[in-house]
Chain A
Amino acid sequence: MYRILAKEELTPDINLFQVKAPEIARKAQAGQFVIVRADEKGERIPLTIADWDNEKGSVTVVFMKVGTTTKKLACLNAGDNILDFVGPLGRPTEIEKLGTVVCVAGGFAIATIVPIARAMKQAGNRVISIMGFRSKDLVFWEEKLASVSDELMVTTDDGSYKRKGVVTEPLKELLQNTKVDRVIAIGPTVMMKFCSLTTKPFGVKTIVSLNPIMVDGTGMCGCCRVSVGNETRFACVDGPDFDGHQVDWDLLMSRQRAYLDEERESMKLWESKTPGDKSCA
């Protein structure tokens, strides 16, 4: 059992948990993830590690309410326990001094890009960050990302806050006007795909953090297999970071949709069990 030390609602759909897991906190590095199981009948799902505090012995995860497990988790509060919390899994993001690094994040992945931007900055890079949201009311952690970046740009799809548009537009302008040595893009799969397509003509190496469906998360089942450079790789042990120019995006997206019907059925059942509880459902 892993105790939730603090809970924060970053937006109505995005929650942050600080979880007591001192052994994981001691070993966590930027880009790694944990596997979480909410309760005895729950699924095992991966959540990227957003932060960790060795002194407190805590690990921070940020998640969006999209499925049964994340909705179950959202019902929990500080003081409650998560049944299983396994990690730190996956390979850490490669951190090195490269020159100028552009960190692009969309939606709840803002939380996962922060430790990467921080580590890149600490390694001596000039860090330019771009964060994208659908609209103003979904914006979070702007100051936090700004504090670990030399420059920060914000976009909203509907133009309700800062620049109107999607993250690939300022990314393209940057590539045209600045010498960029590395791009790291984390967010919804379609966003990572288009970031990779944007950087490809410029020949700038682009690292993406893939989020296929996982079961064990330790290389045992192969559910998370992705095709990178025409080779089958397991995101849980070979990744989750891969070269975005080599990823078979269409395959990844179709595998992510493999259980859509079952996910709907599961969620309907969960919602019928928690009638009227707006905080959960």
Chain B
Amino acid sequence: MPKKVNLNRVPIPKQEAAERARNFNEVALGYSEQQAIEEANRCLQCPKPSCKEGCPVNVDIPEFIKAVREGDMPEAVRILKNKNSLPGICGRVCPQETQCEQRCVLAKKGAPVAIGRLERYVADWERAHPEAAGKGTGNCTANGKKVAVIGSGPAGLTCAADLARLGHVVIIFEALHVAGGVLMYGIPEFRLPKQIVQGEVNYVKSLGVEIKLDHVIGKIATVDELLGNGYDAVFLAPGAGAPMFLNIPGENLSDIYSANEFLTRTNLMKAYLFPEYDTPIRVGRRVAVFGGGNVAMDASRCALRLGAEEVYIVYRRSKVEMPARLEERENAEEEGVIFNLLTNPRRFIGNEQGRVKAVELYQMELGEPDESGRRRPIPKPGTDFEMEIDTAISALGTRPNPIIPSTTEGLELTRWGTIKTDEATGRTSRERIWCGGDMATGAATVISAMGAGKRAAADIDAYFRG
């Protein structure tokens, strides 16, 4: 019997915008048990659930929601972790609105089950109840093969966890001094607390995975040296790579950052706690962030929290074309970030100390759609104007980092410099080398990287079994 449809999504409590814009604490506060059960009760438990098809890692969504509804949280944890090793992260940063929640039958009525919030609730419940939750089920048996995973971001962690569960010996090589990749250096504390990332990293370690920090593969050892020294396979997941700049005059003036640098200083090096932490960051009164993606939103919201009075997003198209998640854009707007749309920079102007003091901008209008399907922005003549700024941040995306491609012979690349990778299996042009995450696809989401890690792990295991 179809049960009564409830279209009232349980809202997630958040810190007030005015307050949160000045601190680095998490914005969304998470469901209480009662709220979680109430939301879980909205799930129709469809016999043919389409939400599952929308999940890149195929989480058994109705099953875990059923467990939540019944108040059986240990069971919910077990079901979630069966497919997803990093639920605390996915529950926070997955774009559910274009994945599982978009496929929910209730989405047609504008109120899909809040799958992401429920996932987050279950993961947080596990963290709060370590005694009740099951241990990792890795079994690094002697007959397993040995796999090197390059990079400990979402793709690397997921691949490593799955391979360890399948009985293989896995060693992750991480270039930075902590594990987590973009989850640590890129996504800010207020969206994804670092303690949660480290909790998930520890879970992967509990499966028997070893993580070697401070290891830049391609430098300390090449991929071929790994393959020649006892590793049966290598999974490449080194991440986003080299930041792009605007390519306009003045872009190397001081106080102009790439979003990667700005976020790395803030999140990884904890510059927001300077001088208690040694790494400084300079945020002036007026900050301009160039770009319209999630990274631009993260950078602008960090700038506010670091004390900027006015933060501008400068984006050459209109709001509709912005690649950022709606939720992130709304959060930024609520916190007071100002959107300068249909605007493009011409050049930066510096002061006598070589610091940026202004940016020359001009306006755009939208023409015909381009190859991305979005309407192409066209400069409007005679619209130049100058804006005084103290800090600028380029959030324009990244190019693949050259270190691994340039030190691994015979690895075919795409014309964008990413590693040519079969999407279904993660295989590259070279035997025993797999790839996934941003190095294979260009900048994408945490969950798509996790999906790639999962598919590669399955294919690596199948390859070993012959």
Chain B: minimal CB distance from A44 (Å): 7
A-B contact count (CB 8 A): 123
Within the assembled complex, what's the spacing in Å between the Cα atoms of A226 and B216?
22
* Contact, CB under 8 Å: B177 / A254: no
What are the residues of chain A within 8 A of B239 when measuring CB–CB? Answer: 220
Q: Is B221 in contact with chain A by the CB < 8 A criterion? A: yes
Q: Nearest-CB distance from B395 to chain A (Å)?
A: 12
- Looking at B251-259, B328-336, B365-373, the stretch in contact with chain A turns out to be B251-259
Q: How far is the CA of A251 from the CA of B215 in the complex (A)?
A: 31
Is the beta-carbon distance between A87 and B219 smaller than 8 angstroms?
yes
Tell me whether B344 is interfacial, beta carbon within 8 Å.
no
Decide if B264 touches A215 in the complex (CB within 8 Å).
yes
Query: B278 within 8 Å of A by Cβ?
Result: yes
Across the interface, do B220 and A41 meet the contact criterion of CB distance under 8 Å? no
Q: Is the interface of B mostly helix, strand, loop or mixed?
A: loop
Contact assessment for B275 and A265 in the assembled complex, using a CB-CB cutoff below 8 Å: yes
In the complex, the chain A residue whose C-beta lies closest to that of B225 is: A27
Q: Which one, A234, A250, A254, A269, contacts B242 given CB within 8 A?
A: A234
Any A CB within 8 A of the CB of B439 = no
State which of A6-14, A139-147, A196-204, A255-263 sits at the interface with chain B: A255-263
Q: Knowing A37-B177, A220-B401, A222-B243, say if A227 contacts B252 (CB, 8 Å).
A: yes
CA–CA, A205 to B403, complex, Å?
27
**Which residues between 240 and 297 of chain B lie within 8 Å of chain A, taking CB atoms?**
240-243, 245, 251-255, 257-258, 260-261, 264-265, 269-270, 274-280, 282
Binding stretch for chain B, among A78-86, A113-121, A123-131, A182-190: A78-86
Enumerate chain B residues within 8 angstroms of A4, measured Cβ to Cβ: none
Given contacts A68-B278, A222-B242, are A215 and B265 in contact (CB under 8 A)? yes
Instruction: Find out whether the CB atom of B354 lies under 8 angstroms from the CB atom of A251.
Output: yes
Contacts of A23 in B (CB 8 A): 215, 220-221
Please give the residue numbers on chain B whose beta carbons come within 8 Å of chain A beta carbons, in ascending order.
Answer: 175-177, 185, 213-216, 219-221, 239-243, 245, 251-255, 257-258, 260-261, 264-265, 269-270, 274-280, 282, 353-355, 401-403
Please give the residue numbers on chain A whose beta carbons come within 8 Å of chain B beta carbons, in ascending order. Answer: 23-24, 27, 37, 41-44, 68-69, 83-89, 215-216, 218-223, 225-227, 232, 234, 237, 250-251, 254-255, 257-259, 262-263, 265-266, 269
Question: Nearest 4 CB-CB pairs, A to B?
Answer: A254-B354, A262-B280, A221-B261, A258-B254
